[in-house]
């Protein structure tokens, strides 16, 4: 079947520029929301996924779900430490870190509104377990002191946490001696200090988690069985990667569902816009339709021409919306993660998959909006069209 030339389709959109622009604008806005939501969800996942190391394991109290809900007593922590299967570093020191994790309510920079920030007591082993963390300002805290270092997102986003400033909690002054960058992972939103100092200050007898590196990355199951099978321990173990992935589930899913539901509703508006435009286009060009059919173009060619016009319109809107959404990548955003109850900073992340899905969504809107008008155009009788010309 011979097709109506592409020039005809494209130029008709150009000739009715204002209508094309308005309809495409409607679609672009919907696409923008769609893409941005996907990028937000992806950004949260990416941040949390970047947090876990593939050969690290995390031990928490059974059923805890989040570090702040978990308690691992000193005795239990000691038992975990003594298990076989934990890697050692070059000097023979065990790569295991027993960490208390608490939340501090701090005021955000600018708005002054308070938000919960994760404060983690860690150790030299703990630093070694997170190779993605690098100091960008100052120096690391000295063990046995009340020095702390702040993740980049916290230092930037909150008041009173910049290099040299002091935080007051648990009856002590804690001085910020450094700022670290954690490679766009969850640790960027944390404050780190000495584990034992924090345990003392908070008068705690239980850590929140025990993190260690597996000597043999494939041996996780064996180690897990040992931990979960030990009657003295009421603990569970997870690969660090999976632990952090699960942390993002609730928030990412919530945003995804909310965004998808909203976009579905909005898309109705955009599809209606496309339908109105295409119906008008068909009505205005019945003479041309009749001429094309008289010349010998098939009904299918007419259908394809108008459907093509609608799809092209949607593509223009889709690309515009996607371009606008891609600018969101420059925006830093943070929110409270439902599961951890603490602040997490992330970015809008645009992946090729999201770009593709966005454009397909745009084309889908064009298809649905343009189909009925195109079908009607193709169903017209030649003599009726020519009579109206």
Residues between 358 and 377 that touch another protein (CB under 8 A): none
CB-based burial label for 374 (10 Å; 0-12, 13-18, 19+):
buried
Q: Is 18 in the site for another protein (CB under 8 A)?
A: yes
Residues 22-41: x where in contact with another protein by CB under 8 A, - otherwise, as a string: xx-xx--xx-xx------x-
Touching another protein, residues 109-168 (CB under 8 A): 111, 113-116
10/309 Cα distance (integer angstroms): 7
CB atoms within 10 A of CB 132: 16
Adjacent-strand bridge partners of 115: 106
351-357: long-range contacts at Cβ-Cβ below 8 A with a sequence spacing of 24 or more?
351/42, 354/35, 354/38, 354/39, 354/42, 355/35, 355/322, 357/38
> Of 15 and 352, which CB lies nearer to another protein in the complex structure?
15
Least distance CB 377 / another protein (angstroms): 14
C-alpha–C-alpha distance, residues 117 and 345, integer Å: 11
Integer Cα distance of 165 and 321 in angstroms: 43
- In the complex, least distance from residue 333 CB atom to another protein, rounded to whole angstroms: 5
The nearest distance, CB 60 to another protein, in angstroms, is: 11
| Given 288, 303, 326, 359, the residue binding another protein (CB under 8 A) | 288
291 binds another protein (CB under 8 A): yes
Cβ atoms 303, 376 nearer than 8 A: no
For another protein, the closer of residues 88 and 336 by Cβ is: 336
Binding status of residue 217 toward another protein by CB under 8 A: no
Residue 48 lies near another protein (rule: CB under 8 A): no
Q: Which residues contact 13 (CB under 8 A, 6 or more apart)?
A: 20, 309, 312, 313, 316
Among 68, 129, 195, 359, binds another protein (CB under 8 A): 68
CA 9 to chain CA centroid, Å, is 38
Tell which positions 318-357 bind another protein, by CB under 8 A. 333-336, 341
Cα-only R_g, the chain: 29
119 close to 67: Cβ distance less than 8 angstroms: no
Q: Residue 336: which of 327, 345, 328 has the closest Cα?
A: 345
Minimum CB distance to another protein, residue 36 (Å): 8
**Cβ 140 to another protein shortest distance, Å:** 23
Residues numbered 238 to 277 that lie near another protein (CB under 8 A) are 255, 258, 262, 265-266, 268-270, 272-273, 275-277
Q: Which of residues 163-182 bind another protein (CB under 8 A)?
A: 169-171
* Closer residue to another protein in complex, CB, 128/170: 170
- What's the closest the beta carbon of residue 33 comes to another protein, in angstroms? 6
């Amino acid at each position: 079947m011979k097709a109506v030339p592409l020039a005809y389709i494209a130029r008709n959109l150009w000739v009715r520029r204002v209508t094309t622009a308005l309809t495409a604008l409607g679609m672009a806005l919907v696409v923008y929301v769609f893409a941005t939501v996907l990028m937000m969800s992806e950004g949260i996942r990416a941040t949390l996924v970047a947090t876990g190391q593939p050969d690290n394991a995390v031990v928490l109290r059974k059923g805890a779900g989040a570090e702040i809900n978990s308690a691992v007593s000193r005795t239990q922590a000691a038992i975990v430490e003594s298990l076989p299967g934990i890697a050692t570093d070059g000097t023979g020191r065990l790569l295991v870190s027993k960490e208390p994790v608490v939340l501090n309510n701090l005021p955000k920079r600018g708005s002054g509104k308070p938000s919960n920030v994760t404060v983690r007591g860690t150790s030299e082993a703990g630093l070694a377990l997170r190779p993605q963390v690098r100091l960008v300002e100052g120096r690391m805290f000295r063990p046995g002191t009340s020095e702390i270092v702040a993740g980049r997102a916290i230092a930037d986003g909150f008041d009173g946490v910049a290099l040299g400033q002091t935080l007051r909690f648990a009856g002590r002054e804690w001085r910020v001696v450094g700022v670290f960058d954690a490679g766009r992972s969850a640790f960027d939103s944390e404050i780190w200090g000495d584990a034992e100092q924090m345990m003392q200050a908070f008068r705690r007898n239980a850590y929140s988690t025990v993190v260690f590196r597996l000597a043999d990355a494939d041996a996780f199951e064996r180690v897990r069985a040992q931990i979960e099978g030990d009657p003295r321990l009421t603990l569970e173990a997870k690969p660090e990667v999976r632990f952090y992935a699960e942390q993002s589930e609730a928030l990412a899913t919530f945003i995804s569902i909310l965004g998808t539901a909203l976009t579905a509703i909005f898309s109705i508006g955009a599809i209606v816009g496309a339908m109105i435009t295409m119906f008008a286009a068909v009505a205005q060009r019945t003479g041309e339709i009749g001429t094309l059919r008289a010349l010998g173009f098939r009904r299918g060619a007419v259908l394809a021409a108008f459907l093509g016009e609608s799809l092209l319109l949607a593509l223009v809107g889709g690309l515009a919306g996607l371009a606008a959404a891609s600018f969101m990548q420059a925006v830093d955003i943070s929110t409270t993660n439902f599961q951890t109850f603490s602040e997490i900073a992330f970015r809008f992340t645009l992946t090729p998959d999201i770009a593709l899905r966005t454009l397909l969504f745009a084309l889908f809107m064009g298809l649905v909006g343009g189909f009925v008008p195109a079908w009607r155009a193709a169903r017209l009788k030649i003599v009726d069209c020519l009579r109206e010309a």
